[in-house]
């Protein structure tokens, strides 16, 4: 076996590679030709240190170490400590944001009036009136809704019905997504940050943004049942259900429309249908009777319903009217 001194320059492993191929090619080829064909094919391939598994691993480790060393040197040469430089920048930015908020509050205060209708004698307010209409717990033309950034969660209540899966939709899914987001820096250790080379992360981000956008839009445009609109439908209910001449049932229908029942329940196509509440258009066919319905509405928790609130505060008279109305609801005729 002959060594080539010139071949070792710049190729520290070339001699070993040639020796390995030489031993395999001269080791009794006449007797073991067939068994050595795979070895000959392997030895005859172009050789480079990076093609060796161990060499590839070592190069990767060395490359990462070199990059880390360069980064640490960069920080040492050009970096600045968090205190006082970064803290000073954070303080300045915080002061700017707070100053903008205070300035807007001052503009709002001095350009608005105490009268919500006249804006202090002006045609319009720059940032809105100082006071809105006083709170009225008996209003029938207002539907409480969350802020816009909670619309997606608000709409999930319509998708996940109570009581089996609403916790999964409103608490479980957002919590799981938040945990994944927090753990992402620890799960994904790749140094590659180019968008085109991170298809999984890009697709996941796009799907998340699209789903959040769709849910927010659906929550913003979801039609709610206003008590004033529901009350206007009472004469149609009485006509379709056939209790027009039953004054007690008509009074109960009006109480049903203005007591917030349609925020969850539906009746002849009217109402919210939230939290998995059943349709009550044919509640009278279940045979509960007026007294049974009144007792149930007064305190549903006694019957195992811990979702529906108690309505005992409406009083016995109103509860009896609502129970009469529901007992007369046999379905459209």
The pair of structure tokens assigned to 160 is 């996940």
Give the residue ranges of DSSP H helices in the chain: 14-26, 29-43, 53-78, 87-111, 151-159, 166-167, 173-187, 199-221, 227-232, 234-241, 247-258, 289-298, 316-327
Q: Which residues contact 24 (CB under 8 A, 6 or more apart)?
A: 36, 39, 40, 43
pLDDT of residue 27: 45
- 57-77 per-position pLDDT tens digit: 555 788 888 888 888 888 788
Return the DSSP state at 271: E
Q: Tell me the sheet residues that pair with 267.
A: 270
pLDDT band of residue 140 (cuts 50, 70, 90) is low
Backbone angles phi, psi at 115, to 5 degrees: -85, 120
Return the DSSP state at 299: -
The pLDDT > 70 percentage for the chain reads 69
Mean pLDDT of 12-40: 49
Checking if the pLDDT of 186 tops 50, the result is: yes
The pair of structure tokens assigned to 215 is 């849910």
pLDDT band of residue 293 (cuts 50, 70, 90) is very high
Three-class SS state of 11: coil
Task: Give buried/exposed letters for 62-75 (b at 16+ CB in 10 A, else e).
Answer: eeeeeeeeeeeeee
Nearest-angstrom CA–CA distance, 108 and 125: 8
Mean pLDDT of 268-289: 82
The pair of structure tokens assigned to 268 is 């002849």
Q: Which is it for strands 266-267 and 270-271: parallel, antiparallel or unpaired?
A: antiparallel
Mean pLDDT of 204-219: 91
Checking if the pLDDT of 131 tops 90, the result is: no
pLDDT band of residue 323 (cuts 50, 70, 90) is very high
Comparison of pLDDT for 1 and 294, the residue scoring more: 294
Residue count of the chain: 333
């Amino acid at each position: 076996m002959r060594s080539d001194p010139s071949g070792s320059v710049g190729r520290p492993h070339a001699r070993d590679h040639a020796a390995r191929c030489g031993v395999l090619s001269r080791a009794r080829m006449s007797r073991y030709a067939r068994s050595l064909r795979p070895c000959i094919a392997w030895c005859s391939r172009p050789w480079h240190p990076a093609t060796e598994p161990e060499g590839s691993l070592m190069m990767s480790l060395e490359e990462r170490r070199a990059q880390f060393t360069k980064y640490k040197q960069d920080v040492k040469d050009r970096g600045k400590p968090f205190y006082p430089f970064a803290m000073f920048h954070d303080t300045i930015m915080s002061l700017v944001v707070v100053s903008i908020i205070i300035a807007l509050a001052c503009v709002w205060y001095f350009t608005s009036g105490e009268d919500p209708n006249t804006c202090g004698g002006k045609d319009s307010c720059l940032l809105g009136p100082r006071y809105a209409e006083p709170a009225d717990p008996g209003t029938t033309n207002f539907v409480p809704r969350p802020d816009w950034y909670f619309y997606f969660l608000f709409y999930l209540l319509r998708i996940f019905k109570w009581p089996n899966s609403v916790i999964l939709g409103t608490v479980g899914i957002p919590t799981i997504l938040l945990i994944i987001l927090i753990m992402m820096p620890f799960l994904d250790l790749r140094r590659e940050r180019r968008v085109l080379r991170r298809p999984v992360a890009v697709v996941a981000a796009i799907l998340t943004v699209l789903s959040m956008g769709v849910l927010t839009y659906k929550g913003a445009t979801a039609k709610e049942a206003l008590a004033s609109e529901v009350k206007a439908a009472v004469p149609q209910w009485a006509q379709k259900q056939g209790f027009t001449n039953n004054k007690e049932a008509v009074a109960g229908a009006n109480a049903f429309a203005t007591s917030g029942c349609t925020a969850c329940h539906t009746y002849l196509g009217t109402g919210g249908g939230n939290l998995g509440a059943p349709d009550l258009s044919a509640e009278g066919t279940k045979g509960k009777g007026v007294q049974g319905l009144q007792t149930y509405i007064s305190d549903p928790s006694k019957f195992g319903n811990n979702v529906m609130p108690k309505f005992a505060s409406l009083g016995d008279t109103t509860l009896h009217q609502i129970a009469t109305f529901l007992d007369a609801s046999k379905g459209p005729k």
